[in-house]
A and B are shown apart, each in its own frame.
Chain A
Amino acid sequence: MSLIERLGRWAAVLGLGLCVAGIPAGPVVAAGLASAWRVGILAPRGPEKALKAWAGWRDWLERRFPGERFDLVPLLPDEALRRGALDRLDFLLANPVQFGALDPGRPVRWLATLRPSGRGDLRFLEQIGSAIWVRETGPFSLAQLRGRRVGAVDPKALGGYLLGVELLDREGLEPGLDYVPVFSGFPAERPLLQLLAGRVDAAIVPLCLYEELRDAGRLGEASLRLLRPAAADAGPGDGPPSCAASTRTLPGWSLAALDTVPDALAAALGRALLEAPPSADLPRWSLPVSAADVERRLRRIDYVSGGPGIWAQARRLLAYYWPWLAGLAGLAVLLLVNSLWLARVARRQRRRLRRAHEQLHAYEQALARADRAASLKEMAAGIAHEVKQPLSAILQYAEAAAYRLRSEEPDSALLPVVQRIRDEVLRCDRSIANLRGWARPGPVAPVGERRALGVLVGQVVEMVRLQADRQGVRIESSMPVALAAHPVSSAFEQVLVNVLNNAVQSGAGLVSVRARAGPGGVRIEIADDGPGFEEAHLRFPFVPFRTTRRDGLGLGLLIAQRIMLSLRGRIHLDRRADGRPGALVALDLPLESAGSDS
């Protein structure tokens, strides 16, 4: 694209009259032979001001080079920084340093540099520098800017920011670390206005801006103060600075011919600028001044070409603070490792907890099943007993009747009837015997495997606690180490569950389970602070179907007693020994050697 454009321009210059269509922004080939050269002018103060300031010069140029047309193209600095913004230009009027930042890849010939002329509207182009303004109330030195908000126009503005930053850098202050830059954007007077409004504590502005605004009366009554006036610093430009500055002043703008301009034209133009007689209306030019010194100084703080690059800044931070950063990184690694480790521990703990819970749950279900079966069997046994009593009575009446009939009237027709009654009773009895036969291997016989007493009690307490917690009942248990390994039949679980459930459901608030050495073995005492046993209950403890609970079967203690008997143990019901209300159940287990059961 740009090659075609350039060819097109050459065609225009050679007067071949070729019209290159479809290139909208190319040099305009007018109806005559005059062609327009596009002269880009940086316009930090806005396009109108720039056009107004340079119009006279443009006219002079066109008079000097009849047949050539020059179009002024004002560029706001941030526009100019956009990639490709310079593609359509043939000349550029800008600060050489800033040009480097704009498009470093493009070949350029510097033709001339502006000299201070005292002309009001150009004076801040002729010399470049920064003025750092503060309010009268302070701060009073550059050092006092530490921690303050410092206004500037744009991070890439040369007079409006970079030179000020370079000055502060020499004072040991770094942007972002020691003070806070606040960028207002173009036009360049904004930072000053923000300073007046109190939104920033200092403003970095280009040279002469303050004076211009003051002369135009735009600052009102406010009085601002310049930090570190640099009057003695003349710099490479000639003459004293025309405006107050904080930094040294640099040579002003230069005119550059870009690579679309033929050498002959460039040379002729440069000569014309230098040879022009001094005039009040025109800018004065000198030979191009090198910007290498400025560039070098700015590069020292890494601001040229792209301004404060994020990597450059990071590198500087790293160089300054590497021990701290290394420490922080180490700390972070340590924290990371620590948290990973904790997470691992927590995960393992959680898994173990879940497994224990599942185990407990399965165990609880098994016990509940066993309890249901035991209850059913005990109920069957109870019913069998209840039915047997009347059966027994019927049979004996029948037997007596039969005996009487046989001895008194052996021919009685009633005798076979009585015999039939007897037979039916016996049949009934057999049915009950069957029922009992099913109930028999129930809770009375199970010896089961042997378990360590401590483990068994711990598991049962844990399980009952699941329910007790819901009812707000606390269970505490103690188990001397010497007894924990005592072997005990797993059938004892059922006993403990029944007794503990009774205690928990009696309305107690605290249930304690204590194991100690007892008569001939181990005694486990379950005490609660509920209402305790009634007198009748204590005298005749193991009566089936007697319960104080609405949903109770009245078999729990009975089953417990049966199992204890089958284990050759005893169960005692009592009141609490300390005289307070509450029940005490003592379970005595004999010392058994492994496999001692007959």
Chain B
Amino acid sequence: MNTNEAIIHVVDDDPSVRHACRYMLETVGMACRDWPDGRVFLERADLYAAGVVLLDMRMPHWDGRAVQAHLSQLGSPLSIIVLTGHADVPMVTDAFRSGAVDFLEKPVLLDTLLPAIGRALDRSEQACRRRRLLGLYHALSPRERSVIRGVRAGMTNREIADGQDVSVRYVEVQRAQAMEKLGAAHMADLIRILTEIGDP
């Protein structure tokens, strides 16, 4: 568990709940920040770093749904664990549909919360990495990107060169440049990265 950089955001309108949660998480060694409501959280928190949001659904200013919608709209890598006083089926379905990693009912035991946070962090880091790779991918020149797309479709350099009406040598150069930019040491690495990015 990578707990030293990732931050756990506690968003809850109830100050004592906020404090208790933060106290508990810090006790087990996690970095925590707490926010009194969704709006403040969205305005001030670093939404593009790896991390987990423990989100209360029922808040007066910007309820959980709105925060979730906003985060997914921004493409934030933060993982969301919905923490709510009461859950019903539509609410749970709704939360998962808008991208929550987990859905827990208050009060929550440490034994339940920690594994959930662990899973969420993994997801967030993965999302972070993908986001970084996606950034790199988007930084490729159009020529490099089209070569990479050929590689991904399983074509040989010659096939790519024929298809794009360029020389095989040119394809090799473009591919090497792209691998370097994406930080892939070898072919298998490139494939892993491409899989991680998925279909951009």
Q: Give the B-binding residues of A (Cβ under 8 A).
A: 381, 384-385, 388-397, 399-400, 402-404, 422, 425-426, 429, 436, 440, 444, 540, 543, 565-566
Contacts and interface: CB of A to CB of B under 8 A. Distances in A.
A444 to B, nearest CB: 7
Contacts of B109: 395, 399, 422
Contacts of A381: 86
B14 A389 contact: yes
Contacts of A391: 106-107
A390 B21 CA distance: 11
Contact of B106 (A389, A440, A566): A389
A173 to B, nearest CB: 100
Given A389-B14, A393-B20, 6 more contacts: A385-B58, A388-B106, A392-B17, A396-B20, A400-B24, A403-B27
23 contacts: A384-B85, A384-B86, A385-B58, A385-B85, A385-B86, A388-B85, A388-B86, A390-B17, A391-B106, A391-B107, A392-B20, A392-B85, A392-B106, A392-B107, A395-B20, A395-B108, A399-B110, A403-B110, A404-B27, A425-B107, A426-B107, A444-B88, A565-B90
Contacts of A565: 90
Contact of A436 (B16, B86, B90): B86
Nearest to B94: A565
A41 to B, nearest CB: 120
Judged by DSSP, the binding face of A is: helix
A385 B88 CA distance: 13
**Interface core residue of B17, B107, B108 (most chain A CB under 10 Å):** B107
A391 B106 CA distance: 8
A402 B110 CA distance: 10
Contacts of A393: 14, 16-17, 19-21
A565 B63 CA distance: 15
Given A385-B58, A444-B88, A540-B60, A397 B106 contact: no
A400 B107 contact: no
Interface in B1-44: 14, 16-17, 19-21, 23-24, 27-28
A392 B108 contact: yes
Interface of B: 14, 16-17, 19-21, 23-24, 27-28, 58, 60-61, 85-86, 88, 90, 106-110
A422 B111 CA distance: 12
B27 A400 contact: yes
Contacts of B28: 400, 403
A396 B27 CA distance: 10
A252 B28 CA distance: 149
A540 B20 contact: no
Contacts of A404: 27
A566 B88 CA distance: 11
Contacts of B107: 388, 391-392, 394-396, 425-426, 429
A397 B20 contact: yes
Nearest to A404: B27
The 8 closest A-B pairs by CB, nearest first: A393-B20, A395-B107, A396-B20, A392-B107, A400-B24, A388-B85, A400-B27, A392-B106
A444 B107 CA distance: 23
Contacts of B20: 392-397, 400
B60 A543 contact: yes
Contacts of B16: 389-390, 393
Contacts of A422: 109
A182 B106 CA distance: 108
Contact of A400 (B23, B61, B106): B23
Nearest to A428: B107
A396 B85 CA distance: 14
B161 to A, nearest CB: 52
Contacts of A394: 20, 107
Contacts of A403: 24, 27-28, 110
B75 to A, nearest CB: 27
A389 B85 contact: yes
Contacts of B110: 396, 399-400, 402-403
Contact of B88 (A390, A429, A440, A540): A440
Contacts of B19: 393
A395 B108 CA distance: 8
Contacts of B60: 540, 543
A406 B58 CA distance: 34
A440 B107 CA distance: 19
A532 B81 CA distance: 38
A422 B112 CA distance: 14
B108 A389 contact: no
Contacts of B27: 400, 403-404
B24 A397 contact: yes
Contacts of A388: 85-86, 106-107
B124 to A, nearest CB: 22
Contacts of A395: 20, 107-109
A426 to B, nearest CB: 8
Contacts of B23: 396-397, 400
A396 B24 contact: yes
B24 A399 contact: yes
B82 to A, nearest CB: 14
Contacts of B86: 381, 384-385, 388, 436
Given A403-B28, A429-B107, A389 B88 contact: no
A429 B109 CA distance: 12
A399 B86 CA distance: 20
Given A395-B107, A395-B109, A397-B23, A540 B61 contact: yes
B19 to A, nearest CB: 7
B139 to A, nearest CB: 41
B51 to A, nearest CB: 19
A540 B108 CA distance: 28
A384 B107 CA distance: 12
A392 B21 CA distance: 9
A10 B114 CA distance: 149
A566 B20 CA distance: 33
B14 A396 contact: no
A563 to B, nearest CB: 13
Contacts of A400: 20, 23-24, 27-28, 110
Nearest to B60: A540
Contacts of B106: 388-389, 391-392
Contacts of A385: 58, 85-86
Contacts of B61: 540
A436 B91 CA distance: 15
A429 B112 CA distance: 16
